Amino acid sequence: MNVKTKSDEILRGVGLTKVFGMGAGKTVAVDHVDFSFKKGEVISIVGESGSGKTTLAKMLLALTTPTEGEIYFEGELRNVASHGKRKEYWKNIQAIFQDPFSSYNIFRKIDSVLLDCIKMRGGRNFSKEKKEDLMREACSFVNLKYDELTNKYPFELSGGQQQRLMIARIFLLKPKILLADEPTSMIDACSRATILDMLMDLRNEVGMTPIFITHDIGLAYYVSDTVYIMERGRFVEYGTADDVILNPQEPYTRRLLSDVPKLHEPWDLSTVG
Amino acid sequence: MTNIVLDVDELTTKYITRFREDIYAVDHVSLQVEEGRAVGIAGESGCGKSTLALSLMGYYFPPLHYSSGEIVIDGQNITEMHPEHVRKTILGNEIAYIPQAAMNALNPTMKVINFIEDVIHAHHPRMPKKEIYELAVERFQLLGLPPEVLQKYSVELSGGMKQRTVIATSVILSPKVLIADEPSSALDVTSQKMVIKMLKDLMDKGIVKAMIFITHELPLLYHVVDDIMVMYAGQIVEKGTVDEVIFDPIHPYSRALMGSIIVPEEGLRDVKLTAVPGTPPNLKNPPSGCRFAARCKYAMPACRATSVELEDIGGGRSYRCIIPEDELRKAYEREDKER
């Protein structure tokens, strides 16, 4: 009998490690990382490029196999050994990536993107009207007009619209966990709030656990309950958003924060090499 | 009286599409930059800020065409000059432009020093290589770049180093005005700091006399420029100092922009960020009234009726809205209390 150790825990990692290469030239991208995420908790993993955050994301998404360590989903050891099991897992965890322009198959129209999602949730045999209703609902959730989009290709939309369409996908798929890898870094600063609010609304609506992977510590501070700071494959600090950002303990966290221009503090450029 | 290095008067430039439609991406824009000052241009994608940057060079490639207005750099009216004369004597010498992703300008088959020789020879064909090298070393050292970079190929340099190299190269002839379009986007935060420091050094050390900095990242502007102009649908909608526009915006669009700033500071989690619904108007057929009316929560029928001028309210401040300043401020105060 499997006993769930924490009934509200959705994802746990124990000693998660990913090593690339062998011998002297090997790279430890993720170095014995531990974590426990609760259902509905908004998590951000903050790190610069090379910190290992994307590799960690890929392991969480079962896109790459850990070298060491275990992942527990809803208290049980995750089994993604076969393609079939991975597909089952992907009903529970989905992702939005940084580059909306390269996330789509350029040969398929927008309708097919959304219909795929409906099928994945068992709606293959829904009537045409029901499918259209679902697609319309998903589009309106992200402030896109389905009637204007139908028959268009994704590349006919702006970056912000494409990213919102990605969110519409998630609205249809209703995964338990959403991994958002730099969801707004290619979006205009003034449109970022829209995307973030939509993701938060989605979390409230479907009870999803969002995990943000980002280099933008400001974004992490705005949306998160818990922030993890990642440096060279390890979590160097973590805690509530207020604790980590307003009261950072680790020198690396402090440095990350001082590198970001703020509005109510001078920006010390004298430390630049 | 301070010298006005860049004086732009009612500049209008357009894109001519292959269907022969005119799209006025820069619509009667006027601005002045005094010696020693930096001006930031803020606005969302598609507002025309990059087109404005290109237009200020005075050298146009189709489909971008000059329509009307004047650009005067340190007393020289470049809009009256022949394009070849502009290319030879103005570009690089009087005004330099760093486009987005400027680091891609580095030719991967050339060493940096050869690239710099190319740039200089385009304007001073007879400068000897030795002199170019000495100038490059001196300038690089002044800007905190290791002179060893001169002997490297661009593939050997990091993104941040490439960007700084291109910036240093573009101002090697000490132009009076530098126009930087998103010079630090696509760079990690540490490289961004280095690029920003270099731009500030260029001004502080007098290498350039005036700068125009274009970005959609407002916190950057706050630390780099003295004045801000907010652009929307090809027009300037507000002007003021950086403190005025960021902390006390008048135009509803400026206010929405400033309300969408995300900085890791206390208070960020207490307010809901503003997001302006909708998209900018299609400039093929711009609306006859206020261009922001369709997305503005304070819009009245009068807003859509006639076009709105940029109104100077004194002290270098101006904004483009028919609603009086104090009424807007009262509305903002009410909203702030409710948030």
pLDDT per position as a tens digit, B92-114:
889 999 988 888 889 999 999 99
CATH 3.40.50.300 maps onto chain A at 1-88+179-186+210-273
The pLDDT of residue A5:
47
Residue ranges covered by each domain of chain B: 4-338
What CA–CA distance (Å, rounded) separates B298 from B162? 45
Contacts with B186 (C-beta within 8 Å, 6 or more apart), sequence order: B101, B159
The pLDDT of residue A158:
80
Cross-chain CB nearest to A190 (options B44, B188, B189): B44
- Residue B285 predicted with pLDDT over 50: yes
- Residue B132 predicted with pLDDT over 90: yes
Residues of A with Cβ-Cβ distance to B45 under 8 angstroms: 158-160, 188, 191
Cross-chain CB nearest to A263 (options B265, B272, B277): B265
Contact B112, B164 (CB under 8 A): no
> Pairing relation of β-strands A177-181 and B210-214?
unpaired
Contacts with B318 (C-beta within 8 Å, 6 or more apart), sequence order: B236, B238, B239, B240, B310, B311, B312
Helix (H, G, I), strand (E, B), or coil: what is residue A177? Answer: strand
Per-residue tens of pLDDT for chain A, all 273 residues: 344 445 789 999 999 999 998 888 899 999 999 999 999 999 999 998 889 999 999 999 999 999 999 999 999 999 999 999 999 999 999 999 888 778 888 888 988 989 999 998 888 889 999 999 999 999 988 888 888 888 888 888 887 888 889 999 999 999 999 999 988 887 888 788 888 988 998 899 888 999 999 989 999 999 999 999 999 999 999 999 999 999 999 999 999 998 889 999 888 887 665
Interfacial residues of B (vs A; Cβ cutoff 8 Å): 44-45, 144, 188-190, 192-194, 196-197, 200, 216-220, 222-223, 246, 256-257, 260-266, 268-269, 272-277, 279
Task: Please give, rounded to a whole number of angstroms, the shortest distance from the CA of A139 to a CA of chain B.
Answer: 14
What CA–CA distance (Å, rounded) separates A94 from A61? 7
- Residue B323 predicted with pLDDT over 50: yes
> What are the C-alpha distances in Å from B207 to residues A223, B40, B58?
42, 19, 21
Average of per-residue pLDDT across B216-232 = 92
What CA–CA distance (Å, rounded) separates A58 from A44? 15
The correct answer on CATH 3.40.50.300 for the domain covering A1-88+179-186+210-273 is yes
pLDDT band at B138 (very low <50, low <70, confident <90, very high): very high
Residues of A with Cβ-Cβ distance to B280 under 8 angstroms: none
Q: Could you write out the three-class secondary structure of A205-266?
A: HHCCEEEEEECCHHHHHHHCCEEEEEECCEEEEEEEHHHHHHCCCCHHHHHHHHCCCCCCCC
The pLDDT of residue A213:
95
B8: β partners: B31, B71
Q: What is the DSSP string of B22-61?
A: EEEEEEEEEEEEETT-EEEEE--TTSSHHHHHHHTTT---
Q: Percent of chain B scored above 70 by pLDDT? A: 100
Q: Do A269 and B44 touch (CB under 8 A)?
A: no
Among residues B202, B222, B220, B219, the alpha carbon closest in space to that of B211 is found at B202
Among residues B247, B297, B293, B300, the alpha carbon closest in space to that of B275 is found at B297
Structure-token match 């494409």, residue found: A162
Cross-chain CB nearest to B197 (options A246, A260, A272): A272
CA angle at residue A228 from A226 to A231, to 5 degrees? Answer: 170
Residues of B with Cβ-Cβ distance to A160 under 8 angstroms: 45
Q: Do A260 and B275 touch (CB under 8 A)?
A: no
Contact A96, A102 (CB under 8 A): no
The pLDDT of residue A265:
87
Q: Which fold has domain B4-338?
A: Rossmann fold (3.40.50)
Contact A89, A29 (CB under 8 A): no
Helix (H, G, I), strand (E, B), or coil: what is residue B237? Answer: strand
The pLDDT of residue A3:
46
Residues of A with Cβ-Cβ distance to B218 under 8 angstroms: 189
Give chain B's mean pLDDT: 91
Which of A259-273, B26-40, B133-147, B180-194 bottoms out in mean pLDDT, i.e. has the lowest? A259-273
Q: Do B197 and A191 touch (CB under 8 A)?
A: no
Q: What is the count of residue pairs from A and B with beta carbons less than 8 Å apart?
A: 105
Residues of A with Cβ-Cβ distance to B277 under 8 angstroms: 143, 194
Among residues A245, A235, A246, the alpha carbon closest in space to that of A213 is found at A235
Average of per-residue pLDDT across B194-201 = 92
Q: Does ipTM surpass 0.90 in this model?
A: no
Q: What is the DSSP string of B67-97?
A: EEEEEEETTEEGGGS-HHHIIIIIBTTTEEE
The pLDDT of residue A2:
43
Residues of A with Cβ-Cβ distance to B273 under 8 angstroms: 193, 196-197, 222
Average of per-residue pLDDT across B306-314 = 91
Contact A259, A215 (CB under 8 A): no
- Residue B210 predicted with pLDDT over 80: yes
Interfacial residues of A (vs B; Cβ cutoff 8 Å): 48-49, 143, 158-160, 188-194, 196-197, 215-222, 241-242, 245-246, 256-257, 259-267, 269, 272-273
What CA–CA distance (Å, rounded) separates B303 from B293? 6
- Top residue of A263, A264, A268, A270 to mutate, by most chain B CBs within 10 Å, is A263
What CA–CA distance (Å, rounded) separates B152 from B112? 6
pLDDT in tens, A30-49: 999 999 999 999 999 999 88
Among residues B226, B297, B234, B219, the alpha carbon closest in space to that of A189 is found at B219
What CA–CA distance (Å, rounded) separates B24 from B12? 7
pLDDT in tens, A180-201: 998 888 788 878 888 898 899 8
Residues of B with Cβ-Cβ distance to A44 under 8 angstroms: none
